Structure 1
């Protein structure tokens, strides 16, 4: 029992020290995306297209039909739901004609295009969602159960389950980067935005991409933490 508390922290303080780099990066990414989005929310587009209209422009450019755009409550809660084929845009994006709104909406439309064109990483991520959800809920209970009962294979199973969340984050990166590239390229080729407006969109999407990089780094760092604590004990 003493070993558990020794390896599992020297308490909570040890955990914070170990996780400090991940916490700092995550905090910086969140602040960056919010400040960048706010900055370009004050810059209106020349054509006056709203986020919802820009998303439809991207879909039409790629001949993607049957995708609805809906408003969803919250701030930066924008997402594409492949189960219902719906793009959901937040209040600050759906009806806004700002550079930030158009960029975010075009990014989510990029996901819809990925889904329609059966983009490989997008299909893999969709398949992984239910498996990852189960793994993330069960991983820690399985690890602790195996640890306290000294069942090594159960601890290993828990670590593997947690690793699924890390793998999901890794698969998410190309999906998000590709959606942003599609968004910027389409907005340029369809003449939705001017050159200066496109620069703003790139900055908004680049800041958003940092949140995914931060989430991936945090997941990898957490996995390392679990392996150091329970993996070493499991080998004894």
Structure 2
């Protein structure tokens, strides 16, 4: 997993706990806007890294095929494994976007 992505995922729970702590100490709207910014940055990073991951998988498959280090069966297994490895980035991006939407709904759906 890309180092930046693992940092972003590692920040998820501290952001949740920090948001809950700030929630009781600061105006609710301010805390929610801070969370929107943080989750927005995580979602943007997750989406931006998607093409990088898919390209890395494509290049790895090309290397496996061109180097002749794998049999046809091993190549097909590698292809499947790399596809699903790349899909983990898609799931991470969807999770980040979902978290952002949840906070936005909380913020925009508030009735004072």
TM-score by length of 2: 0.72
Give the number of aligned pairs: 110
2:72 matched residue in structure 1: 195
Task: Select the structure with the greater relative contact order (CA < 8 A; seq sep ≥ 6).
Answer: 2
For the pair 1:228 / 2:105, whether they are aligned, the reply is yes
Q: Runs of 5+ in structure 2 lacking a partner?
A: none
- CA offset digits 1:10-53 (Å, max 9, x no partner): xxxxxxxxxxxxxxxxxxxxxxxxxxxxxxxxxxxxxxxxxxxx
Shift of 1:190: 1.3
Distance 1:143 1:162 in 2: 14
Shift of 1:228: 0.8
| 1:205 counterpart (82, 90, 111) | 82
- CA offset digits 1:112-167 (Å, max 9, x no partner): xxxxxxxxxxxxx58xx5xx479643466347635764353443122101222212
* Contact kept? 2:43, 2:96, Cα under 8 Å: yes
For the pair 1:158 / 2:28, whether they are aligned, the reply is no
Q: Runs of 5+ in structure 1 lacking a partner?
A: 1-78, 82-124
* Contact kept? 1:143, 1:159, Cα under 8 Å: no
Return the structure number with greater helix share.
2
Q: Go from structure 1 to structure 2 and tell me whether the alpha carbon gap of 1:135 and 1:160 turns closer, same or farther (over 3 Å shift).
A: farther
**Partner SS state of residue 68, structure 2:** coil
1:186 matched residue in structure 2: 63
Q: Go from structure 1 to structure 2 and tell me whether the alpha carbon gap of 1:172 and 1:217 turns closer, same or farther (over 3 Å shift).
A: same
* Contact kept? 2:65, 2:75, Cα under 8 Å: yes
Return the structure number with greater strand share.
1
Q: Go from structure 1 to structure 2 and tell me whether the alpha carbon gap of 1:230 and 1:135 turns closer, same or farther (over 3 Å shift).
A: farther
* Contact kept? 2:40, 2:100, Cα under 8 Å: yes
